[in-house]
């Protein structure tokens, strides 16, 4: 795995060895961390790490590990994904206090750089999972505050589109469609066809593919 870190057969074989040997989980997690230091996007290593946590445990230090990776590189989507994985697997998403803590974590990274889509996506995932009106209102307001001073902040606008599209409110769906128009014609022209399609869906069918979510306040 060290010499051939992207060889999925090696990682799969290591699983079988670990199943029989039951080594110290801390040492094994450290081994995976070394592989991820070489390539933070090694999906085989991340998949093995997730399997390892499910099999031998070690959850108590995983959020700290992800936080360290994100301090080093806040654009590390794999680390954001791993953080959400931990919350899902441990049941923390059902704990309002844990969700608030994670929203604060996301807010810290948003304050460091609102153009980073990863913390916006993470916060949206938390809000959708918590189904809490207060959390949804906070995220929607955070988007609006950013857009008031930086209307070209695509991640903030995209987050608001998703929230409004899933709200079930005709007026908010209309605002989402208007945002899509602005994204297509001004702020994200490289994806103009995508945003034009989203606008058409919203105006024609109330948001095709939108998932039910807590309605954010306008």
Select which of 6, 41, 94, 193 is catalytic.
6
**Residues 218, 143 contacting (CB under 8 angstroms):** no
Catalytic site includes residue 6: yes
> Rounded to an integer, what distance in angstroms lies between the CA atom of residue 40 and that of residue 79?
8
Q: What distance in Å separates the CA atoms of residue 160 and residue 163, rounded to the nearest whole number? A: 5
CA–CA separation, 143 and 44 (whole Å): 34
Distance CA 6, CA 36 (A): 11
The region that residue 4 occupies, defined by phi over 0 for left and psi between -120 and 50 for alpha, beta otherwise, is beta
Active site residues: 6
């Amino acid at each position: 795995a060290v010499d051939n870190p992207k060889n999925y057969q090696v990682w799969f074989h290591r699983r079988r060895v670990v199943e029989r040997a039951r080594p110290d989980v801390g040492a094994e997690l450290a081994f995976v961390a070394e592989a991820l230091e070489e390539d933070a996007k090694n999906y085989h290593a991340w998949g093995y790490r997730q399997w390892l946590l499910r099999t031998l445990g070690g959850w108590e230090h995983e959020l700290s590990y992800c936080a360290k990776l994100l301090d080093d590189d806040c654009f590390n989507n794999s680390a954001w994904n791993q953080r959400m994985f931990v919350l899902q697997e441990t049941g923390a998403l059902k704990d309002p206090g844990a969700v608030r803590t994670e929203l604060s974590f996301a807010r810290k990274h948003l304050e460091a750089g609102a153009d980073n889509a990863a913390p916006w996506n993470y916060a949206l995932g938390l809000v959708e999972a918590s189904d809490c009106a207060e959390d949804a209102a906070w995220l929607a307001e955070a988007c609006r505050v950013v857009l008031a001073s930086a209307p070209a902040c695509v991640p903030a606008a995209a987050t608001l589109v998703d929230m409004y599209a899933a709200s079930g409110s005709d007026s908010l769906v209309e605002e989402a469609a208007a945002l899509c128009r602005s994204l297509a014609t001004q702020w994200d022209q490289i994806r103009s066809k995508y945003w034009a399609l989203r606008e058409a869906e919203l105006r024609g069918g109330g948001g095709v593919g939108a998932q039910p979510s807590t309605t954010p306040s306008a």
